[in-house]
């Protein structure tokens, strides 16, 4: 969706390196969701952010939502081959309805 830009489109990192994926909306985010998908499979829920300035972490993954609630980042520390996959940000811009628009995804490869 042009209303939601995700970058970079693809990323290749060496195992152990840190990386960041960004998601930017042209509209206020009522909720920002991060998922991981393997091609042709379902989405694995990572994190949901709703409040400006909110930050959540799970294992080596941290997600943040900026104060203006228009931009989010997903940061992976000390990447591992198991982190490889397609990362998708989904945005609820329709007033907390649960209807999401998605970014184009970031394909992450982690080289051992």
Partner 1 sequence: GAVVSQHPSWVICKSGTSVKIECRSLDFQATTMFWYRQFPKQSLMLMATSNEGSKATYEQGVEKDKFLINHASLTLSTLTVTSAHPEDSSFYICSARLAGGRNTGELFFGEGSRLTVL
Phi, psi torsion values for 81, nearest 5 degrees: -55, -30
The span from the CA of 42 to the CA of 86, in Å, is 11
Residue 3 CB, nearest distance to partner 1 (Å)? 12
Residue 15 CB, nearest distance to partner 1 (Å)? 26
User: From the CA atom positions of the chain, what is the Rg in Å?
Assistant: 13
CA dihedral 76, 78, 82, 88 (to 10 degrees): 10
Taking the least distance from each CB to partner 1, the nearer of 85 and 103 is 103
Applying CB under 8 A, the residues found at the interface with partner 1 are: 1, 31, 33, 35, 40-43, 45, 48, 50, 88, 90, 96-105
Taking the least distance from each CB to partner 1, the nearer of 3 and 67 is 3
């Amino acid at each position: 969706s042009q209303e939601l830009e995700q970058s970079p489109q693809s990323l290749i990192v060496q195992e152990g390196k840190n990386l960041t994926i960004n998601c930017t909306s042209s509209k206020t985010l009522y909720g920002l969701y991060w998922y991981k998908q393997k091609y042709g499979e379902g989405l694995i829920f990572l994190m949901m952010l709703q409040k400006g300035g909110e930050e959540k972490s799970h294992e080596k993954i941290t997600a943040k939502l900026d104060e203006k609630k228009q931009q989010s980042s997903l940061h992976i520390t000390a990447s591992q081959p198991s982190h490889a996959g397609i990362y998708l940000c989904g945005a609820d811009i329709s007033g907390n309805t649960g209807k999401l628009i998605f970014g184009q995804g970031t394909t992450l490869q982690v080289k051992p």
